[in-house]
Structure 1
Amino acid sequence: MTRFIYAISGGNAVLAQDVQVSANLRRMIGSGLLVAVGYIDPGNWATDIAGGSGFGYGLLMVVIVSAFLALGFQVLVSRLALVTGEDLATLTARHLSPRLSKAAWLAGEAAILATALAELVGGAIALRLLFGLPLIAGVAVTGAGTFAVLAFARGNADRQERVIALLLSVVAMSFVFLLFKANPAWTEVARGVTQTGHALRDPQGFLIALGILGATLMPHNLYLHSGSLAQRAQQLPPAARGLAMRVARNDTIVSLGVAMLINAAIMIVAAASLSGSGMIVSSLDDAHAVLGRTLGVGAAVVFAVALYAAGQSSTLTGVLAGRILSNGFQVRRGWSDRRRALATRLVAGGAAAGLLAFTGGEDPDGLLVLSQVVLSLALPFALGPLVALARRKDLMGRHALRGAWAWAAMAATACIMALDGYLLIDMVA
C-alpha cells in the first residue's frame, strides 16, 4: 500500500514512507468513486441516448467537455475540504449569509429528492423491461431494494464503497458487451467528434447538449465529495495535506474518467444501433425495443440490467449526501441514514406514483427529465458558494483560488447558470 500511495501521489517518498500517514492517505482513495455514480444515473441515460440516436457521434465531444468541466469543480471542492477539514455545507452555513445558506440547503435537498426520483423511476422502468412489472409496483420494489442495499452496507464506509464499485462494474461491463455487439465504426466515431458544431447548430441538438451538461454536474455530488474527504482528512497532519490533495485529485480523475467512458459508451451504442431512423429516441422503452431488434434479445436484457444497477448505485450516495447536507446546515442532525432514506424515498416515491397515475404511466421518461431540470436549477446554489469560499484567503491560505483559475471558475459558473436558465425557459415555453 505504501508503494501505491507513492505512485498515486506523484512520488513524494518522504511522506509516503510514514506508515501512519500512508494509512490515512489510503482513506483518500474511494471518495471519487462515490461521486462517479452520479454521472451515470438513469437521468444521464435519456440525454445520451437522445444525442446518439438523433445526431450520431456529433455530440460525443459534449459528453467529454461536460465531464472535464465537472472534474474541475470536483477537484476544487476536494481541495476546499482537505485544506479546511470541513465540508461545503458546513462552510456555507458558517461563512455566508443566513438567507443564502437557507437557499443552498433547500436547493440541496431538492437535488437529493430529484436524484431519488430518478433512481426510483429508472429502476421501475428497468423492472418493467425485465419482468413486465407495472411502473407503480416497480417504484415500490425499487424502494425496497434501496433498503436492502442500505441494510447490507450497515453504515460501513468500506462496505458502501464495495457495493458501489460492484454496481458500477455491472454498468461498465454491460456497456463493454453492448459496444462489442454494436461494433461501431471507430473512424466514424472519430469523425463525429470533429462535427460537434454541426450538431450544436441544430436547435434540438443544442437542447440535448444542455441536457447532457445539466445531467453531468450535480449539486449533491459537491456536498458528498467534500463531506467524504473532510471526514477522511481529520487525522492527517498539516504537512500531509498537500500530498492528500494530489491523492484525492488523482482518485477523482480516475473515477470520473471511468464515468465519462461509460457515458460515452451509452452514446456510442445509441449512435451505432439507434441512429439512421430519422427520429430522436428519448424513451428508454423505445431504446430497449430497438436494441432488441438490432442487437438481439440478450443485448436488450443487458441494457435493462445495467439500467437497474445504475439506479440502485445512486442509492447510497444519495443517502450519504443527505446526511452531510443535514449535518452541515444543522438540520435534522439526529436522523439515522435509514430514517433519512425512508423519508426521502417516501416523498420521491409518492411523487413518482402520483405523477405516473396522473399520466397513466404514458411518459415515465418525462419524470427523468423533470429530475434533471431540478438538478440544473439547484446547481448554482452549490457552485456559487463553492467558488466564493475557494477564493477566500482566510480559509484557504496559499491554496486559495486566484488568478486565471479564479476567473475560469467564475466564468464557468456564470456560463452554466446562463445555459441552465435558457434550458428552463425553453422547457417552460
Structure 2
Amino acid sequence: MPGEQQQHSQQHSWASRLRNAGWLVLHHAKKHTGVGIVCAVAYFDPGNWGVDLQAGSQFGYRLLFIVLLAGLFAVFLQVLATRLGCVTGIDLASHSRLLLYNRPKHTLLYRWLGLYPLYILAEIAIIATDLAELLGSAIALCMLFPKLQLWHGVLITAFDVIFILAMGDPLRGKPVRTFELLIAAMVLAVLICMIVIISKVDVNWADAFQGYIPSKYIFGSGWNLHV
C-alpha cells in the first residue's frame, strides 16, 4: 500500500508539473505572440515581395542560398537584441547612449567619434529601409487601384502609418491589442495570398532545393549578391 501511494503521488506530481508548464506556455504565448507578429511584418511587407519577385524572375532559384543565409543572420541578431532587451529592459539605442555619452574620460571624443556618427548611420539605415517599405506599399496600392498615381500611394501609405501609430503606444495600454490584432489580420491575409500563389505555381522542387546549395553563380556578378 505505501508503494502504491508513493507511485500515485509521483504521477500526480508529474501531472501537476505538466499542467503548470502548459499554463505557463499559454500565458507567454498570449502575452508575446502579438508582439512577435508585429515584428514579423518586416518580412511580409510589399518591399520584400517586390525584391523577391524581381530576383526570382531574373535568377530563378539560384539565389535561395542568399535568402537562407540572410535569414540565419537575421535570427542570430534578433536573438541577441531580444536577450539584451529582456535582461536590461532598455533598447539598443539607449544602451549606445549609456555607453558612449557620459564617459569618465575623453567624453567629447567618445561623443563626436562614437555616439554621433552611430546616430547618423542609424538614421540613414532607418530611412533606407523605410524607403523600400514606403515605395513597396505605394506600388501595391497602384496595382490594386490603377487610377492612383505613385505619389498618391506614397501619401496614403504615409497617412496610414501615422494613423496606426496614433492608435496608441505599442508598449502600453489597451490600444496595443487593437494594433496587434490589426497587424495579425494583415499578416494572415498575406499568408493566405502566399499559399494561394504557391499552390498555383508549378514549382520545380529539385531546382528549388538545389538553390539552397552554395554555388559559384552567386558570386559571379555583384548584382546577383546585391539582389
TM-score, normalised by the number of residues in structure 1: 0.40
> Which residue in the other structure is 1:141 paired with?
156
> Which residue in the other structure is 2:120 paired with?
106
> Which residue in the other structure is 2:207 paired with?
188
The alignment status of 1:126 with 2:144, answered yes or no, reads: no
Q: Deviations over 1:162-217 (max 9, x none)?
A: 222111122221111111111212223223333x41421421xx433334xxxxxx
Report 1:23-422 matches (<5 A): 26-96=30-100, 97-99=110-112, 100-132=114-146, 133-151=148-166, 153-155=167-169, 156-194=175-213, 196-203=214-221, 206-211=222-227
Q: Is the 8 A contact 1:41 1:118 kept in 2?
A: no
Distance 1:57 1:21 in 2: 38
Q: CA deviation at 1:25?
A: 7.8
Distance 1:25 1:130 in 2: 35
Amino acid at match of 1:106: I
Distance 2:176 2:111 in 1: 32
Q: Deviations over 1:362-407 (max 9, x none)?
A: xxxxxxxxxxxxxxxxxxxxxxxxxxxxxxxxxxxxxxxxxxxxxx
Q: CA deviation at 1:38?
A: 1.6
Q: Is the 8 A contact 1:124 1:142 kept in 2?
A: yes
> Using a 3 Å threshold, how does the CA distance of structure 1 residues 201 and 150 change in structure 2: closer, same or farther?
closer
> Which residue in the other structure is 1:318 paired with?
none
Q: CA deviation at 1:26?
A: 4.9
> Using a 3 Å threshold, how does the CA distance of structure 1 residues 84 and 141 change in structure 2: closer, same or farther?
closer
Distance 1:56 1:160 in 2: 37
State the SS of the aligned residue for 1:184.
coil
Q: Is the 8 A contact 2:68 2:212 kept in 1?
A: no
Distance 2:127 2:84 in 1: 25
> Using a 3 Å threshold, how does the CA distance of structure 1 residues 22 and 128 change in structure 2: closer, same or farther?
closer
Distance 2:153 2:29 in 1: 41
Q: CA deviation at 1:59?
A: 0.9
State the SS of the aligned residue for 1:61.
helix
TM-score, normalised by the number of residues in structure 2: 0.72
Tell me the matched-pair count. 194
Gapped regions of structure 1 (runs ≥ 5): 1-12, 212-429
Q: Deviations over 1:225-255 (max 9, x none)?
A: xxxxxxxxxxxxxxxxxxxxxxxxxxxxxxx
Q: CA deviation at 1:68?
A: 0.9
Larger radius of gyration: 2
Q: Is the 8 A contact 1:55 1:199 kept in 2?
A: no
Amino acid at match of 1:197: S
Gapped regions of structure 2 (runs ≥ 5): 1-16, 101-109, 170-174
